[in-house]
């Protein structure tokens, strides 16, 4: 996906219609699978007691790390512990270096552990079990390979932590090793630029290909201090992808003969033989049928072929999956426009086509985490997913994603208690007392309570419908208490509530003039 960083301060509403008819048809499936309807999950009375179930009275399913087994391929399908493995999931491209949060000099930053964990919790709560991310960090000061042949292993720390976090949250990883598009983390043009060569040389020059292979070797052999495993020995890493949307724009007619794919896939197989290899050759978004490069599908070291959808197209899914099956390869929808930002068929229709096509999985683009202060990180490429969504349409789509994950994998999404909010602070707000806090997935909404400042009286429930799916201006309020008596001071506390109504722990109480803090 070509990503763009917005300069806006808050995301605008979606214009897509609500999928009411589709949701009604799926209501029976959702109920049978134990997944609540959109109304059950995201709405209800304003009192805490009527809409939440506490951790003490509701069984919460713990996050289960992936097993010690590697995901394997058997013909056109993937297996885990000898059983079919199909999945829903998402993309979280920024786990190694984040362009959405910039430092004082305007440079990308290393994501905090909170944001990494938050993204995996959101992926898990959406029903996902696989996350795709970027591992190609080259040509920048904070990159793994800032200059040709010079590696700084300290730059692995964020990815190291992400691999360990993925395991804790029951997620497997697809790691893409280079980008076609020239962004902040480097790309194919970084490699050709190091040798003063044009773009096409990335796909044919022996020296450039050797440079890329050297990066791959260094990357997969890196030992993660959090897991004590080399990446190539870690079953949490399901697959390595040869690249993201790899095209040769300067080759005549965008010609692609597959020799580069063979050279890279064979090398990945030689240095990481236990993990899958995904062909990341891009296809023209305007293509409808016959889009895959079939000669590449005959490369023995390729296990899976990746395809991206902007917009979502059912005929192309079915055609491409049939092509992959004809060559005995697994087919993956590695990115798709989950919110119909670019039109296309309705989400429910697309997901049904993915399911019936025999594709091994589908990964939405893309999860955005909570900010380290309050609200969400500012990202606006049109496809951002602020779990569980900013409006009824997006929350209905989250319902569809959870149902799709249940149908595809055969098990309902994990539902865990949200972490306690932190950093709760009273701030000025029009018409009342404003509150801001750092929330955390898998909270879909928040309960708010108050009592007179300094008292030990019982807490009064104010709402169970406070939300935080916004990009918040500095010092802005997420929710305002408009019923507070003028001239009287109150203290407040908040708690997150999951999709299925599991309430997490309360935040610390906050009085006027006190700024709440969060762990480092």
How many other CB atoms are there within 10 angstroms of residue 148's CB atom? 17
Q: What is the mean pLDDT of residues 70-86?
A: 97
Q: What is the mean pLDDT of residues 295-309?
A: 96
Q: What is the mean pLDDT of residues 309-337?
A: 97
Q: Is the pLDDT of residue 259 over 80?
A: yes
Collect all residues with Cβ–Cβ distance below 8 Å to 97 and sequence separation of at least 6.
108, 109, 110, 111, 137, 140, 142, 143, 158, 184, 185
How many other CB atoms are there within 10 angstroms of residue 12's CB atom? 8
How many other CB atoms are there within 10 angstroms of residue 343's CB atom? 11
Cβ proximity of 508 and 493 under 8 Å: yes
Which pLDDT score is estimated for 8?
A: 34
Which pLDDT score is estimated for 26?
A: 35
Terminal-to-terminal C-alpha distance of the chain:
32
Which pLDDT score is estimated for 285?
A: 73
Which tokens in the block code for residue 415?
A: 């539902």
Q: Which pLDDT band holds residue 66 (cuts at 50, 70, 90)?
A: low
Give the pLDDT confidence of 85-99 residue by residue, as tens digits.
999 999 999 999 999
Q: Which pLDDT band holds residue 135 (cuts at 50, 70, 90)?
A: very high
Cβ proximity of 499 and 482 under 8 Å: no
* Calpha distance 367→126 (Å, rounded): 10
* Calpha distance 170→63 (Å, rounded): 6
Give the pLDDT confidence of 463-484 residue by residue, as tens digits.
999 999 999 999 999 999 999 8
Q: Which pLDDT band holds residue 63 (cuts at 50, 70, 90)?
A: very low
Collect all residues with Cβ–Cβ distance below 8 Å to 440 and sequence separation of at least 6.
114, 118, 121, 370, 418, 419, 421, 496
Q: What is the mean pLDDT of residues 511-518?
A: 93
Which pLDDT score is estimated for 49?
A: 34
More confident residue, 259 or 285: 259
* Calpha distance 26→249 (Å, rounded): 43
Q: What is the mean pLDDT of residues 272-295?
A: 90
Give the pLDDT confidence of 138-167 residue by residue, as tens digits.
999 999 999 999 999 999 999 999 999 999
Which pLDDT score is estimated for 59?
A: 31
Which pLDDT score is estimated for 67?
A: 64
* Calpha distance 237→318 (Å, rounded): 27
Least confident residue range of 79-83, 108-112, 284-288, 385-389: 284-288
Q: Is the pLDDT of residue 55 over 70?
A: no
Q: Which pLDDT band holds residue 44 (cuts at 50, 70, 90)?
A: very low
- Whole-number mean pLDDT of the chain? 88
Q: Which pLDDT band holds residue 65 (cuts at 50, 70, 90)?
A: low
CA 138, 143, 147, 148 torsion-angle sign = negative
The order of strands in the sheet holding 72-74 is 72-74, 77-80, 83-84
Q: Is the pLDDT of residue 20 over 80?
A: no
Which pLDDT score is estimated for 43?
A: 39
Q: Is the pLDDT of residue 449 over 60?
A: yes
Q: What is the mean pLDDT of residues 486-513?
A: 95
Q: Is the pLDDT of residue 520 over 80?
A: no
E strands, 151-242, are 172-176, 223-224, 229-230, 237-241
DSSP 35-73: PPPHHHHH---SSHHHH-EETTTS--PPP-PPPSSPPEE
* Calpha distance 34→517 (Å, rounded): 37
């Amino acid at each position: 996906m070509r990503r763009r960083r917005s300069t806006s301060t808050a995301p605008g509403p979606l214009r897509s219609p609500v999928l009411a008819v589709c949701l009604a048809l799926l209501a029976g499936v959702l109920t049978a699978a134990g997944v609540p309807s959109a109304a059950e999950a995201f709405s209800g009375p304003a009192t805490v007691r009527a809409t939440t179930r506490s951790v003490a009275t509701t069984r919460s399913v713990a996050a289960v790390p992936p097993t010690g087994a590697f995901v394997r391929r058997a013909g056109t399908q993937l297996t885990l512990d000898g059983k079919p493995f199909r999945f829903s999931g998402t993309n979280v491209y920024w786990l190694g270096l984040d362009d959405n949060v910039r430092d004082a000099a305007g440079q990308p930053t290393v994501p905090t552990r909170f944001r990494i964990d938050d993204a995996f919790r959101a992926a898990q709560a959406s029903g996902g079990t696989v996350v795709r991310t970027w591992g190609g960090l080259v040509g920048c000061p904070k990159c793994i390979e800032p200059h040709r042949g010079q590696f700084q292993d300290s730059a692995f720390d964020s990815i190291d932590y992400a691999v360990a976090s993925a395991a804790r949250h029951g997620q497997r990883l697809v790691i893409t090793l280079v980008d076609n598009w020239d962004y902040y983390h480097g790309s194919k043009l970084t490699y050709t630029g190091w040798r003063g060569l044009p773009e096409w040389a990335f796909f044919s020059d022996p020296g450039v290909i050797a440079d890329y292979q050297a990066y791959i070797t260094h990357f997969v052999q890196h030992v993660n201090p959090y897991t004590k495993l080399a990446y190539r020995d870690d079953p949490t890493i399901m697959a390595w992808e040869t690249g993201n949307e790899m095209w040769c724009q300067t080759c005549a007619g965008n010609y692609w003969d597959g020799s580069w794919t063979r050279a890279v896939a064979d090398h990945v197989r030689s240095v990481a033989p236990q993990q899958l290899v995904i062909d990341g050759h891009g296809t023209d978004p305007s293509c409808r049928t016959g889009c895959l490069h079939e000669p590449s599908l005959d490369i023995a070291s390729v296990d899976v072929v990746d395809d991206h959808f902007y917009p979502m197209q059912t005929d192309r899914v079915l055609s491409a999956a049939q092509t992959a099956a004809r060559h005995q390869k697994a087919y993956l929808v590695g990115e798709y426009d989950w919110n119909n930002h670019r039109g296309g068929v309705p989400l429910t229709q697309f997901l049904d086509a993915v399911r019936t096509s025999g594709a091994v999985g589908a990964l939405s683009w893309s999860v955005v985490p909570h900010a380290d202060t309050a609200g969400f990180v500012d990202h606006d490429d049109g496809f951002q997913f602020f779990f569980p969504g900013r409006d009824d349409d997006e929350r209905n789509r989250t319902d569809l994603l959870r149902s799709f994950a249940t149908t595809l994998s055969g098990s309902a999404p994990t539902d865990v208690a949200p972490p306690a909010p932190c950093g709760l602070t009273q701030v000025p707000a029009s018409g009342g007392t404003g509150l801001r806090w750092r929330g955390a997935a898998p909270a879909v909404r928040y309960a708010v309570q108050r009592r007179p400042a300094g008292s030990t009286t019982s807490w009064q429930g104010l709402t169970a419908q406070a939300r935080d799916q916004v990009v918040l201006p500095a010092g802005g309020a997420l929710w305002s208490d408009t019923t507070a008596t003028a001239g009287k001071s109150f203290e407040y506390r908040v708690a997150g509530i999951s999709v299925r109504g599991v309430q997490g722990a309360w935040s610390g109480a906050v009085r006027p003039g006190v700024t709440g803090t969060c762990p480092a």
